[in-house]
Amino acid sequence: MRKFTDELLTSDQVATLLRSALMSPSSKGKHAWHFVIVDDEQMLEALSHCKTVGSDFLAGAPLAIVVVGDPSESDVWIEDASVASTVLLYQAEDLGLGACWIQVRERFTPDGIPADTIVRDLLAIPEPLRVLSIIAVGHKGMERKPFNEDRLLWEKVHLGLFTN
């Protein structure tokens, strides 16, 4: 969901989202992630320019959850932060909200500045922490068609052995 209404999330909705993220599984129970909650319109606007494409709609979201990993705490921080990001997406949908993953890691501004650097600077995120994603969340501002199951790529499923 890349379009949201102006309706704000309730504190209970935000707490439910965070509770689910904090319960997300992580390698060896290290929980090498942090979450930065952003609901300030000016900051959302600034964050919407963190990379070349795919983040502009963040300016119209009522809430962003910035998912941060700690490489000094776990060698699989990317995977752990990815699981937490996915959990947030599913929890938002379960609450009847819309959400969208904005990839930050390995993305850049038109000037070649890493999006991670832009986001860390804006939000005062210290080294060695790294930003994986920003999850935009809000009340759905449009209806989406259900996924067309005729487009499922069953040929990518292999039973027992990887065969063509």
Q: Where are the alpha helices (DSSP H) in 26-114?
A: 41-47, 77-94
Q: What is the pLDDT along the chain (164 residues), one digit of tens a residue?
A: 889 999 999 999 999 999 999 999 999 999 999 999 999 999 999 999 999 999 999 999 999 999 999 999 999 999 999 999 999 999 999 999 999 999 999 999 999 999 999 999 999 999 999 999 999 999 999 888 888 999 999 999 999 999 77
Specify the 3-state DSSP secondary structure of 94.
helix
Asked whether 3 and 58 are in contact (CB, 8 A), the reply is no
Q: Where are the alpha helices (DSSP H) in the chain?
A: 11-22, 41-47, 77-94, 115-123
The two tokens of residue 134 are 């920003």
Q: What pLDDT, on the 0 to 100 scale, is given for residue 156?
A: 92
Q: CA-CA distance, 34 to 53, in Å (whole number)?
A: 25
Q: What pLDDT, on the 0 to 100 scale, is given for residue 1?
A: 86
Rounded to whole angstroms, what are the CA distances from 9 to 25, 30, 98, 161? 25, 29, 11, 46
Q: What pLDDT, on the 0 to 100 scale, is given for residue 47?
A: 98
Q: CA-CA distance, 34 to 54, in Å (whole number)?
A: 23
Place of tokens 């009522």: 62
Asked whether 25 and 161 are in contact (CB, 8 A), the reply is no
Q: What pLDDT, on the 0 to 100 scale, is given for residue 67?
A: 98
Ordered by where they begin, the domains of the chain are 11-156 (3.40.109.10)
Asked whether 48 and 119 are in contact (CB, 8 A), the reply is no
